[in-house]
Amino acid sequence: MTMKPLIAANWKMHGNMSWRNKPAEFNEILPTAERRHLDVLICPPAVLLAPLADKRGGTDVWLGAQTCHDQVSGAHTGEMSADMLSDAGAEYVILGHSERRAAGETDADVRARVEAAVKAELIPIICVGESLEQREAGQAEGVVEKQLAGSLPDDLTDYVIAYEPVWAIGTGKTATPGDIKSMHAFIRSRVWPTTRILYGGSVKPANAQEILATENVNGALIGGAGLEMESLAEIAKAAPKRR
């Protein structure tokens, strides 16, 4: 089934107000006319959402948040609701990122946030992935299956999955094309045929073409390589035009 690749840059805790011009900078490097076959998404820190939304103009770059709370409002100091993020300009939201799961976020937490995101008309990008210990113990598929089952509401249809092999992020270890193909095929068997499955394990310009050409890889969730627009554009250029 043909679907547009999604190239998503997670800025994590990087950036300042000068970065509000980055969507326009990206568009200069890779104009919309040259990337109609794919979607490009930037997920900045929440404080930068509104400035980026104001400055992106006609760049056709989507914006997303990095998490949201499961409540609409209330006494939740330091938190942001999905409605607030949508109002600030977000169209997507990353949920269950490995860094947040490592900090104690559970599948039930992710599921509740997904439900809140959908109510706010945000498209959730739900992250799953196993640790090195779990992979070496032969538990990779079981871990991912449990995360999918626990994090996805039963009636959810419009969403994105991002597979993050935690053991291949900033560790010096690399997932092979076979590792990626196998896990993405497993995830595909558990989700809708129209669901985009992103790969999120240290994607860079040097490996993007091989990764994005892999069966059932429908895009990438990018960390450090998505902070500079030249690097992000090189990865976007590697996305296949037809799948």
Q: How does pLDDT run across 156-192, given as a tens digit for each residue?
A: 999 999 999 998 877 767 789 999 999 999 999 999 9
CATH number for the domain harbouring residue 42: 3.20.20.70
Structural domain range at position 80: 6-237
69 catalytic? Reply is no
Per-residue pLDDT tens over the stretch 134-159 = 999 999 999 999 999 999 999 999 99
Give the pLDDT confidence score for residue 174 in this predicted structure. 73
pLDDT at 232 over 70: yes
pLDDT at 67 over 60: yes
Max alpha carbon distance in the chain (Å)?
Answer: 49
Give the pLDDT confidence score for residue 202 in this predicted structure. 87
Per-residue pLDDT tens over the stretch 9-32 = 999 999 999 999 999 999 999 999
Exposure class string for 32-50: b at 16+ Cβ within 10 A, else e: eeebeebbbbbbbebebbb
Give the pLDDT confidence score for residue 223 in this predicted structure. 94
For the chain, give the percent of residues with pLDDT over 70.
Answer: 98
Q: Is residue 30 part of a domain?
A: yes
Six token digits for residue 173 = 């270890």
Indicate the number of domains in the chain: 1
In this prediction, residues 52-67 reach a mean pLDDT of: 93
- For the chain, the distance separating the N- and C-terminal CA atoms, rounded to the nearest angstrom, is 7
Q: Kind and range of the H or E element at 212?
A: helix 205-212
Among 69, 97, 130, 184, the active-site one is: 97
Q: Map residue 241 onto helix, strand or coil.
A: coil
pLDDT at 1 over 70: no
CA atoms of 179 and 210, how far apart (whole Å): 13
Among 69, 105, 130, 164, the active-site one is: 164
76 catalytic? Reply is no
pLDDT at 45 over 70: yes
Give the pLDDT confidence score for residue 173 in this predicted structure. 73
CA atoms of 95 and 93, how far apart (whole Å): 6
Give the pLDDT confidence score for residue 71 in this predicted structure. 98
Spell out the alpha helix ranges (H) of 4-139. Answer: 22-29, 49-55, 82-88, 98-102, 107-119, 132-136
Q: Residue 137, CB half-sphere, CA atoms under 13 Å: how many?
A: 8
Give the pLDDT confidence score for residue 242 in this predicted structure. 66
In this prediction, residues 80-88 reach a mean pLDDT of: 98
Q: Is residue 217 part of a domain?
A: yes
Average model confidence (pLDDT) for the chain?
95
Which residue(s) pair with 22 in the sheet? Answer: none
CA atoms of 132 and 230, how far apart (whole Å): 31
Determine the angle formed by the axes of helices 205-212 and 229-237, rounding to 10 degrees: 30
Q: Is residue 242 part of a domain?
A: no
Give the pLDDT confidence score for residue 175 in this predicted structure. 87
Give the pLDDT confidence score for residue 168 in this predicted structure. 85
Q: Is residue 243 part of a domain?
A: no
Q: Is residue 1 part of a domain?
A: no
